Structure 1
């Protein structure tokens, strides 16, 4: 059972416990958040001085939740004299309706109290438990509590009002109510989170979706997006459930950019409700066959914020694509470099890959021509700033040792890149998948140059560079006595020899020599890496292996979706199907919503996938995972003006039908069925 409950819409989200309460926490953030600031850090309900407990929670919709509560602690037999229904929704602002029900045959008097506070913490301050540097003021009005925070020009406010009379003080509201026999009492609380701009204007009010909207409007907008997606019919209930959940979560995870005023897909709740280069690109690749119209805003936003100068603080370099964009206090005062921050080495080649894949699906040649300059600059970055040592490989090392990311690949925690014995290499580092992305980016950019930019000479040069990179990569990264590619090269050109899931990304990129592919697949699905639920980030016998370590032993659904795509690319359809089937089986234990990561314990040890304690959920590229797995199982691949459909459905999954797949071909249907033993000729 999930212990935290969240609701979200646009730029605002709320995370509470299962009672609906919010209390200050630095382990996992609860609160009301908008634009990277916590506008409520305390929101605790009591009835006659007693905390409540949850009888039931209805959180089936992303933007609203209903809690059914009773006072006191749960017992085997509970004869409550009263109960509380707590209905809340995010509709631009936060609304909560409180209803107290009297279950006695006589009139009662009771005291309802909500403790309220706003610490206006930046998300980075929550992670690092920093003290605020500005000043908070509290104003008590008639049935209103206003909490205001200022630090120079940075100004945020939380305004709480109620429809029923309340005794308001600096720390909350108290309601003294009289309820008739078997009667009810209700009040509605409204919480505004106000984000002031440099001229004192409310920034949220200037956005198309920033003001208050009705629940019906939110539902209609989300349903309209879901209705545009292809219709899935299948015999596999885990797949059907995961597909429905993915579409619902994608609809909910969209937020509005202050810069462009368009909808973008946020990376994940609660830590990453913003634009990420890597995460947003990979999510876009996952959703392309289903909702291609979600992709252009992300491409254009990343192109518009492409690096223009050398800025050590932000790890910015000309042509580089950003890592993360934040709007909070620490970014505004340059205590963190995220305004935006460019500390990822993979977002730039992935940007090129996405543009090509988008055109292949949609035929949108105009966008490719419009972004020619940005793609050329990204290619130049790969060959110049990205090649720190001049060896023809893509390296990374932060320019900002104080607040920059040490690891700038997708496994970006501090200990994610290690030798087999657990020791950490020095910097710079050239991880293997970065070379695969660079190879793929050059192959794809060559197609764009030849077909859209009228530059066949440049296309030929890019293909020569890619062929040379593939040859050198095989020579320098292959570990002959172990039969797998190195995780990375260190600054001395020595192989960082740990066995990791990164080698699966190499298959997706196409950089793996055909003669090596079989050995790579053996490792990916062997007991060291494959848990039975999915491929672990680090092999179980490596020095830093930890089944509940963030990047050193957990299983990441998005990682597995890319690996499955790579297996499909090299013709290992049965092995790709196994990963698809096991990921979907795991989704059943998460109510259809695959989390950011789960523990790497062996399947025969736990019998179910064990939760990772602080995993984001929903997270965009985990939400996109079932979609990419579906593409792999149906063998969907655009080719010119046509969509190739070559299904290989895993045993036991039965029938798959995906209707109205959009693309440059209009819409087409894809059908597939698993070939189970009883279906083979001569059986039955």
Structure 2
């Protein structure tokens, strides 16, 4: 995984990860390079002057789609004597463009040999992630008179990188070069274009629809300005909230992904570098988080997930009729069915969450047409919950992969291999049922009942769904409650034995509404108690559990997205102070990450580390971490659509000061919300 000296720029379908000099020297284990649609189109991009590598004075990632590198020849000790400045300015859109500028500060003229070594291994992103780049097709490089063509072909699968320059260059199979003469104080510039092509049947570029959408820098800048102008404005007395919101809004713009079938419409990709594609679970959660700020993402997400809903039984893809996809990939390994993501359906939470998002979106937008348009898909999702997901026959959603080679073992959001365990640390057999998914199913049935009664003209179906939801709630509170611990089990095994560990999943149960009212206070106490709450946020697994590890991926780290739904759940059951405590911890942590919350960070106690400890391989930016501050804002201000209006019931953390959110869009038009936190003792003394 690239370290802190790497620079990342992205624009939805395309991203570049490089060193702080702008150079790219990819190895099988590092996601450095130019990537688009799950393939690496540049694995080598190294600039030299007179055969000498360059050193970075500084770099600036100006916008999410562009960066500038300020370089000099020689080692750091020679910077003061440097007679040349080299500036690399690059931008990504539908393609990759780099402007190279060289300035001569010497008192005499210089002759320079400028060389760019270029190469492409055309590694599938899955191959990079698995650290195995073993190409089965043919790599080729062709130096033409005015360009360098790098390519890969395997049967009808063909990918190409075409490099050209605004200044005359000498091209060879390994790159290109310029011989230039610079007088004193003279400047030389060249614009280098790197076009990527995914060639389909008949030689048609599958990415043409994307290439026509915002490839120029000015178009990208204008698009970002419009995106920010459309969003609500957030002002805060303490700048951390408004600064974090601004960063999240820009990162969300960067993560907008255009599936090939959408013709420019966008939905949230999951995250950089591994997950720049469409996910069911991640995209839905992100849409739920950002509904008050970017509601248009929900409509696109619902439509494309509905269009790709499962229609058959396919063991390779873990597909069932009515099931919502987990992940969609476009690279070589998916094309040749070496892995099942074309699409892959191995998640059990995306399907009920699809129904949840449809209802929540309608409450905000009043988009009745979409509710009616997706009625069939919604019914199919509910049918999947009842008939195909209940592998044991006891009324719960279970999972067990049918693709035992490349399918996911754990098909809940905590999908690492060891995330589900008993209290003694051993792992349960399959099938497994995790607690939060039962909550999602309950919520989906309750919400679908409203849709059926109000929009589908089917009150009998609405009554049926409400009866089923009530029965599920009663059954769940009987089977999952760990009486001697005062919490709900993380999961059940096929014999009904509880995975009786304390986890953050219980916060999702509050969000879903499946928690019995007389047990909610115990759940809230656990969530902000010392075993789960670190001071920065709620841990995925409680301190003291056998598998607890503060830097274990799902066994003790803090996930910002997880915390945002925990806070929302606490607020739903009336625990506003506890919700504010969680929100305050996460927003404090965000300041240490310059407003960009990572996928996860360490679960160490706050008074031990004094700052949130980075998780080494966390995605950043990541969509549902980007959406976290937005959902926390909604939760703290108590923003809830209610009978066609927006209700505001703020409860801010002590000492936060005044917050205002202006122009919140919805079926009500645009409204403003204001709140002020109570003063702490230091502020009172002042």
Matched, 1:7 2:38: no
**Within 5 A, what are the aligned runs for 1:325-344?**
325-344=328-347
Q: What residue number does 1:439 align with?
A: 442
Pairwise CA distance, 1:130: 3.6
Q: Aligned pair count?
A: 682
Q: What residue number does 1:235 align with?
A: 237
Q: In structure 2, what is the Cα distance between the partners aligned to 1:139 and 1:332?
A: 25
Pairwise CA distance, 1:178: 2.1
Pairwise CA distance, 1:276: 0.3
CA contact (8 A) 1:23 1:31 kept: yes
Matched, 1:591 2:599: no
Pairwise CA distance, 1:561: 0.5
Matched, 1:486 2:489: yes
3-state SS of 1:339 partner: coil
CA contact (8 A) 2:28 2:133 kept: no
Q: What residue number does 1:357 align with?
A: 360
Pairwise CA distance, 1:244: 0.5
Q: What residue number does 2:656 align with?
A: 653
Q: In structure 2, what is the Cα distance between the partners aligned to 1:534 and 1:677?
A: 20
2:19 to 1, 17, 20: 17
Q: What residue number does 2:270 align with?
A: 267
Q: What residue number does 2:577 align with?
A: 574
Structure 2: runs of 5 or more not aligned: none
Q: What residue number does 1:27 align with?
A: 29
Structure 1: runs of 5 or more not aligned: none
Matched, 1:624 2:600: no
CA contact (8 A) 1:93 1:212 kept: no
Q: What residue number does 1:306 align with?
A: 309
Matched, 1:411 2:414: yes
CA contact (8 A) 2:150 2:161 kept: yes
Pairwise CA distance, 1:678: 6.2
CA contact (8 A) 1:93 1:211 kept: no
Pairwise CA distance, 1:604: 1.5
**Within 5 A, what are the aligned runs for 1:234-253?**
234-253=236-255
Matched, 1:70 2:72: yes
Q: What residue number does 2:430 align with?
A: 427
CA contact (8 A) 1:204 1:211 kept: no
Matched, 1:199 2:210: no
Cα 1:36/1:677, change in 2 over 3 Å:
closer
CA displacement 1:273-310 (0-9 Å, x = unmatched): 11100000011101111121221111000000110000
Pairwise CA distance, 1:94: 0.6
Q: In structure 2, what is the Cα distance between the partners aligned to 1:346 and 1:534?
A: 23
Cα 1:421/1:73, change in 2 over 3 Å:
farther
**Within 5 A, what are the aligned runs for 1:133-144?**
133-144=136-147
Q: What residue number does 1:107 align with?
A: 109
CA contact (8 A) 2:351 2:381 kept: yes
**Within 5 A, what are the aligned runs for 1:142-541?**
142-207=145-210, 210=212, 213-261=215-263, 262-541=265-544
Pairwise CA distance, 1:677: 4.4
Stretch moving more, 211-220 or 668-677: 211-220
TM-score, with normalisation over the residues of structure 1? Answer: 0.97
3-state SS of 2:25 partner: coil
CA contact (8 A) 2:655 2:680 kept: no
Q: In structure 2, what is the Cα distance between the partners aligned to 1:130 and 1:427?
A: 32
CA contact (8 A) 2:197 2:207 kept: yes
CA displacement 1:233-272 (0-9 Å, x = unmatched): 2112111111101111111211222122222221111111
Stretch moving more, 627-636 or 108-117: 108-117
Pairwise CA distance, 1:458: 1.2
CA contact (8 A) 1:47 1:113 kept: yes
- How big is the alpha-carbon RMSD for the aligned residues of Structure 1 and Structure 2? 1.7
Q: In structure 1, what is the Cα distance between the partners aligned to 2:45 and 2:67?
A: 15
Q: In structure 1, what is the Cα distance between the partners aligned to 2:209 and 2:412?
A: 36
CA contact (8 A) 1:143 1:164 kept: no
Matched, 1:675 2:660: no
Q: In structure 2, what is the Cα distance between the partners aligned to 1:180 and 1:615?
A: 48
Cα 1:371/1:332, change in 2 over 3 Å:
same
CA displacement 1:32-75 (0-9 Å, x = unmatched): 11111110011112223332222111113011100111223324
Pairwise CA distance, 1:211: 5.7
CA contact (8 A) 1:28 1:614 kept: no
Stretch moving more, 37-46 or 347-356: 37-46
Cα 1:485/1:73, change in 2 over 3 Å:
farther
Q: In structure 2, what is the Cα distance between the partners aligned to 1:683 and 1:80?
A: 54
